[in-house]
Amino acid sequence: MSDSPATHARPAYQRVLLKLSGEALQGSAGHGIDGEVLRAIASDVREVVELGVQVGVVIGAGNIFRGVSAAAEGMDRTMADSMGMLGTVINSLALQDALRRAEVPARVLSAIAMQRVCDTYTQRRALRHLEEGEVVILAAGTGN
C-alpha cells in the first residue's frame, strides 16, 4: 500500500446514494440477474465503504418487469406499478446477498411492509444502519 497523500485523503463525500437500473444487473444475458455483475458491483461498493463513506443504494427492476410497458398494453397501471415495486425487492435481496458474501454488511429496507423478507423503511432506521457502517438498500419505491 502506498503512503502517498491520496491514500490518506478524506473522501469528498461522507454519504452517497447509488442509483442502479435493473438492466445493469442483467449483464450480457439481456434478462434476469447476472452473478458476475452482482459480484463486480459488490466489490466496487466495498471499496467505497472501506474509505469510510456511508452508502445507500436504490435499485430498479427493469430486468424483471417493465410496468410502464405492461400498462401500455392494457394492464392496470396500479397493478403494473406494484409488480415493479416487488421486482425492486428481488433485486435488492440479490444485491444484499452479494454484498454480504463480499463481507460488506448490508440491509434491505422496503417501503412496503414485508417483515419475513426485509425490514420496513423509516428514516430513523435507515440513518441508524448507515451510521453503523451498513450499506442500506432501499426497495419498493416510495410505497405508493
Q: 49-63 pLDDT, tens per residue?
A: 999 999 999 999 988
- CA 40-43-46 angle, 5° bins: 150
| pLDDT digits 0-9 by tens, 95-129 | 999 999 999 999 999 999 999 999 999 999 999 99
pTM for the full predicted model: 0.88
Cell numbers given for 73: 398494453
| pLDDT digits 0-9 by tens, 65-99 | 875 676 667 888 888 888 889 999 999 999 999 99
Give CA–CA dist 1/58, Å, rounded.
Answer: 32
For residue 135, list its beta bridge partners: 106
- CA 39-44-45 angle, 5° bins: 95
Superfamily of domain 13-139: Acetylglutamate kinase-like (3.40.1160.10)
